[in-house]
Amino acid sequence: RAPAVNFVNMSEMRQRKPTGDGSEEADLEAKNAERLALLTGLGEKAPESIRPFALKCAPGAVKIWELVEKLIPLIMLAYAKCLELYEKIKPYHPDDLVPCFIGLAMCFFGGEFPMLIATVVAVKVTGSGKAIKGSVMAIWSEAEKVINEEVKDEKEHAGDEGEKPKPQEVLTRKAMVALKVIDPQMLGNSMTALTTALLAVIASLKLTFARSLSLGSAIGDILSKPALRYGTPIMKTYLDDDYHKWIEPSIAYACRAVAMSVAFWVQQMISAVHSAIQGGQLFTASLCRYLRKYGISTFDPDTSNLDELAGYAVAVLGLGWQLFYSTPTLLALVLLPLTICEYAIRFTLVWFN
């Protein structure tokens, strides 16, 4: 279970000093102006090769800073509500029912999250789950200490009179506060363990990803030859001689893009079948164990094949849903966090490749 979060301090971080006219919008603009000045000052000190890029990114970074400041309390609130809900349903043994819900989700929606499911499998296969969880909890504990100390520091300097400190001076002061409370040994060990575990998972996922890339590359090579043979003369009739040099690369890239789309579609179909079968078996087996454990039913799945047959029936229903129906809008909003994780994993794999 994650360490308790000090929500009072998190809310205090969002409190803004009142301005003369009491306008929250004016206060936010002033705060963003300070942040922009800070980031601009840092950008001007950057190496000359990246200085223009850093200065151009400063306004966007301020917007991201503001968004993160608004999202963190909301995430903490959602986490607290989840803990409250868990305590309310604890008498119904939710830990034993979780596999049932996971199985149903895999059965009906697993094809939309092939990389997410593959990541969970890779974590189990590589044995990285405990290392990742322990490292994240340790890093969060250090971050919580820094947050609490930063709040105290803000209170101490809230009533300071005189010349307003420069943004660089504020950043230096905050960095010194963080260095004072962070345990470097724990942070270093946690970061090393987390990086090692994540690299092991990524290496396992790249094997799955490489199959799709290889299939797409092979299909692209097959498509490009006839496309170039028949498409090049047609394109030459519509383009001036100066642009003929772009015909062959454009056709080749278009064939490759189509081939990659086909390859990922095939991989998604395979993932849909696999997740439906695996999810159906997980659902029925977990449900039978839950009913038997709490005396609701005397059926023993270890001595009968009925649960497996029921699992295949559920798998057929789930696969039919994935192939012929789309996810309802309301349910898509519920699954949005999983969708974000899925595309984040895909982006990470592409970046590592």
Together in a domain, 13 and 111: no
Q: Looking at the predicted structure, is the pLDDT value of residue 17 above 60?
A: no
Using one digit for the tens of pLDDT, what is the confidence trace for 79-113?
889 889 888 888 877 777 888 888 888 898 888 88
Which has the higher per-residue pLDDT, 50 or 316?
316
Q: Looking at the predicted structure, is the pLDDT value of residue 29 above 60?
A: yes
| Least trusted range by pLDDT, from 64-68, 89-93, 146-150, 248-252 | 89-93
| DSSP 8-class letter at 90 | G
> Is 212 within the bounds of a domain?
yes
Burial of 284 (0-12, 13-18, 19+ CB in 10 A): buried
Q: What is the pLDDT of residue 313?
A: 92
CA–CA distance, 255 with 47 (Å, rounded to integer):
41
Together in a domain, 258 and 283: yes
> Is 165 within the bounds of a domain?
no
Together in a domain, 85 and 219: no
> Is 334 within the bounds of a domain?
yes
Q: What is the pLDDT of residue 23?
A: 67
Together in a domain, 104 and 86: no
Together in a domain, 231 and 320: yes
Question: Which residues 6+ apart lie within 8 Å of 250 measured at CB?
Answer: 235
| Least trusted range by pLDDT, from 181-195, 262-276, 338-352 | 338-352
Domain-ending residue, one of 41, 68, 92: 92
Read off the pLDDT band of 316 (50, 70, 90): very high
Together in a domain, 20 and 122: no
Q: Looking at the predicted structure, is the pLDDT value of residue 175 above 70?
A: yes
Q: Looking at the predicted structure, is the pLDDT value of residue 14 above 50?
A: no
Q: Looking at the predicted structure, is the pLDDT value of residue 9 above 50?
A: no
> Is 323 within the bounds of a domain?
yes
> Is 195 within the bounds of a domain?
no
Average pLDDT of span 64-68: 86
> Is 246 within the bounds of a domain?
yes
**Can you give the pTM of this predicted structure?**
0.61
Using one digit for the tens of pLDDT, what is the confidence trace for 182-216?
888 888 888 888 888 888 888 877 776 777 778 78
CB atoms within 10 A of CB 137: 13
Together in a domain, 216 and 259: yes
Exposure on the CB side of residue 126, measured as CA atoms within 13 A: 20
Together in a domain, 40 and 115: no
Cα-based torsion angle of the residue sequence 136, 142, 145, 147 in order, rounded to the nearest 10 degrees? -70
Q: Please report, for residues 12, 28, 56, 154, 164, the alpha-carbon distance to residue 157 in angstroms, rounded to integers and kept in the order given.
A: 15, 19, 31, 5, 11
Using one digit for the tens of pLDDT, what is the confidence trace for 281-295?
889 888 888 888 777
Domain-ending residue, one of 92, 119, 138: 92
Read off the pLDDT band of 167 (50, 70, 90): low
Task: State both tokens at 222.
Answer: 């097959």
Q: What is the pLDDT of residue 170?
A: 74
Domain-ending residue, one of 92, 116, 141: 92
Read off the pLDDT band of 13 (50, 70, 90): very low
What percentage of the chain reaches a pLDDT higher than 90? 2
What angle separates helix 336-352 from helix 114-126, to the nearest 10 degrees?
70
Together in a domain, 27 and 110: no
Using one digit for the tens of pLDDT, what is the confidence trace for 239-266?
888 888 888 889 988 888 888 888 878 8
Place of tokens 């005396």: 295
Together in a domain, 75 and 32: yes
Together in a domain, 87 and 213: no
Read off the pLDDT band of 12 (50, 70, 90): very low
Q: How many domains does the chain have?
A: 2
Average pLDDT of span 161-172: 70
Together in a domain, 217 and 120: yes
> Is 241 within the bounds of a domain?
yes
HEC readout, 26-48:
HHHHHHHHHHHHHHHHHHHCCCC
Among 229-233, 324-328, 330-334, name the most confident range. Answer: 229-233
> Is 169 within the bounds of a domain?
no
Backbone φ and ψ for 163, nearest 5 degrees, come out as: -65, 135
CB atoms within 10 A of CB 348: 16
| Mean residue pLDDT across the chain | 80
Q: Domain range spanning residue 13?
A: 1-92
CA–CA distance, 350 with 353 (Å, rounded to integer):
5
